[in-house]
Structure 1
Amino acid sequence: MAISLKPLRNQVIVITGASSGIGLVTARMAAKQGAKLVVAARNEEALRQLVEEIRASGREAIYVVADVGREEDVNRIADAAIAHFGRFDTWVNNAGVSIFGRCMDVTIPDMKRMFDTNFWGVVYGSRAAVKHFQDRGGSGALINIGSFFGDRATPIQSTYCTTKHALHGFSDALRMELEKDKIPVSVTLIHPGRIDTPYNEHARSYMAKQPAHRGMIYPPEAVAEAILYSAEHPKRDMYVGFQAKFFAVLGALAPRLMDKLMEIWMYPSQQSDRPSRDREDNALYHPGYGMHERGTHQGWIRSGSLYVKASKHPVATTVAVVASLGVAIWWLTASFSQSF
């Protein structure tokens, strides 16, 4: 089964969750490289602004207002892409939201609502994309945005990491089935570490202090770089930040040690030093504010991800891993020092 993906300049790319954060940055970067865009989210005003911006730069784009937690909405995205452009070549399941709260505090309806977006939205999008690729014939790329919390559970964001564990499992199973049936669809799972997006501001908070990333944080451009590389090159996994790979490996090799480290580090590193927003002020059930790429985190924001660049250039991977390991050790030491 040979998978042959087009250059970005010849592609039509569908991106969900495109009104802010990773989706917004990815859409802008893809447009600059010549791709045609179909952007989707719940915030119509933000989508309209984004499409006008892309068209003003001489590129092509349309938008679809959609809630990915509804299968009929996701199918409308696919139908709109086909009706306007005749096809799509890459589908990016990026839409997502989080809840910061303990397992016993988060309500069951809130848990179910997040599964609608983070898990079922990916299932609906994946099925719509694969069906189109099969109907059209030829190769296509399906890119699902997971999380390093999909490889290793965390306290405080219990529901979020559970949805990402499910997303990871679905992506892996789908990939194997497509390969077994010799269907030329590249299924890539992106594993971002902590990313500087409005993710924390859009989250529902059960905490006294405002959710935020603290410690090492990567820019959304690093995730977009991984996504767009995967749109042109079949990749199984792309880790954004050595942090993501480090915790996945350590969690698998020494799970009890990782439990203890997470118990110490994750409570202070997921909360800022300011009061939390009101519990109703979030994007769980309603669209969040749009056209913002960055969040309100407190930490060391990197300029990019060395691990992503190493993944694009395998010869440099060993050097990158060694260098990043030193950075990761420094980061853990500094984070633990702040916790005591």
Structure 2
Amino acid sequence: MGKVVVVTGAGAGVGRAAVEEFARHGYDIALLSRDVARIERAAADLQASYGVHALGISTDVADADAVEAAASRIERELGPIDVWVNVAMATVFAPVSRLTANEFERGTKVTYLGQVHGTMAALARMRTRDRGTIVNVGSALGYRSVPLQSIYCGAKFAVRGFTDALRSEIIHDRLNIHLTMVDLPALNTPQFDWALNKMGKKAQPVAPIYEPEVAARAIFFAATHRRRQVWVGFPTVKAILANRIAPGLIDRYLARAGYEGQLTDEPLEPDAPGNLFEPVAGDYGAHGRFDSRSRKGSWEMFTNRHRNAFWALAGIGLAGVALLVNKKKSV
């Protein structure tokens, strides 16, 4: 029996790219998402393409009982869960003044509590075996919020706080369970076509944009290496570090540029779909509509994957500079 990975939000976007990446490496896959037709089609594609076992389970991650039931079914049908990846998310493009309490509650339940529910279901089973890996997917927006996405940003901040607290508990209990977090940049996914949007214009990711396969490779890397955290893309690094240095300056910059940067000039159709409360039907995959503008690799991710070699080369370079400086001084 092969290794088993569970991916939430597996029907499209990053989750869909992630199941493809794990299947490519021979993992049996459990796909959790609300749209049953989409995940069943994805599961069939994975089985046909990679010869792995794939199980699609229609699951709303905001429902803790549904997530627990899915985890029990996965272990019955596929075997012990080795890796659990929390990807599912929901957002609304709108200022706070135009949001409702129900929208805040729903977005928070999916994006934050969905990760809590998945982590709890995985942890309960991994503790009994004293092994396993949990990958929580974060965002640069979990460190530096932007206007028009207060629901998503607040939830990603909460995911980070929850993950850090749990990590210390795992260390305290001396468990051989690896908890890691992958923070993502702007990505070319369908969320910009189906997220609830109250702005009257089509939404877009803020450039530079990365293909979802970049995120998928980072998630697989985090799941198979003992990294506490993985930052994907230099924009993620820049946003996190810049906010530590000059948060007030960034507040004012985003007040000027944060609206138009997330919106195109194209008018939003009156009947545009919104997936906050119900899934949007259709043949959606990993990619959104921004392929022509998206990057297929991340230099920062490359250095993270090869950090030992990177730091060795950096050390050699610094030693060479020091040697040249000393020679000049001695002349």
Common fold by TM > 0.5: yes
2:241 pairs with 1:242 = no
Question: How many residues were matched structurally?
Answer: 312
Match of 2:69 in 1: 76
Q: Is the contact made by 2:190 and 2:286 (CA closer than 8 Å) also made in structure 1? A: yes
Instruction: State the Cα deviation string for residues 127-175 of structure 1 (Å, max 9, x = none).
Output: 111111012x132110011111011111111111011111111111111
Code of the aligned partner of 2:64: E
- Residue in structure 1 matched with residue 207 of structure 2 by the alignment: 215
- Give 2:163's aligned residue: 171
Q: Report deviation, 1:82.
A: 0.6
Percent identical among aligned pairs is: 28
Q: Secondary structure at the match of 1:25?
A: helix
**Partner residue, 1:224:** 216
Call closer, same or farther: CA 1:97–1:73 in 2, change over 3 Å: same
Native 8 Å contact 1:195 1:220 kept in 2:
yes
Contact 1:25 1:224 in 2 (8 A): yes
**How much does 1:120 deviate?**
0.9
Partner of 1:11: 3
Distance 1:129 1:290, change over 3 A: farther
The residue identity in structure 2 corresponding to 1:36 is D
One-letter amino acid matched to 2:119: S
Q: Tell me the CA shift for residue 280 of structure 1.
A: 6.7
1:271 pairs with 2:263: yes
Q: Distance in 2 between matches of 1:142 and 1:102?
A: 33
Matched, 1:285 2:277: yes
Q: Matches of 2:250 and 2:152 in 1, distance apart?
A: 18
1 CA distance for matches of 2:170 and 2:43?
33
Question: How far 1:186 moved relative to its partner?
Answer: 1.1
Larger radius of gyration: 2
CA distance in 2, matches of 1:222, 1:62: 24
Say whether 1:122 aligns with 2:118.
no
Shift of 1:248: 0.4
Distance of aligned partners of 1:320 and 1:161 in 2 relative to their CA distance in 1, 3 Å threshold: farther
Distance 1:266 1:91 in 2: 34
Letter in 1 for 2:208: M
Distance apart, 1:219 and its partner CA: 0.8
Out of 179, 185, 203, which is 1:187 matched to? 179
1:316 to partner: Cα distance: 5.3
- Amino acid corresponding to residue 16 of structure 1 in structure 2: T
**Structure 1, unaligned stretches of length 5 or more?**
1-8, 322-340
Conserved 8 A contact 2:147-2:258? yes
Structure 2 counterpart of 1:115, one-letter code: T
Cα distance, 1:227 vs. partner? Answer: 0.6
Q: 1:98 to 1:254 in 2, by over 3 A?
A: same
| SS across alignment from 1:146 | strand
- Describe the SS at the equivalent of 2:98: coil
How large is the Cα RMSD of the aligned pairs? 2.0
For 2:269 and 2:74, locate their aligned partners in 1 and report how far apart those are by CA, in whole Å.
37
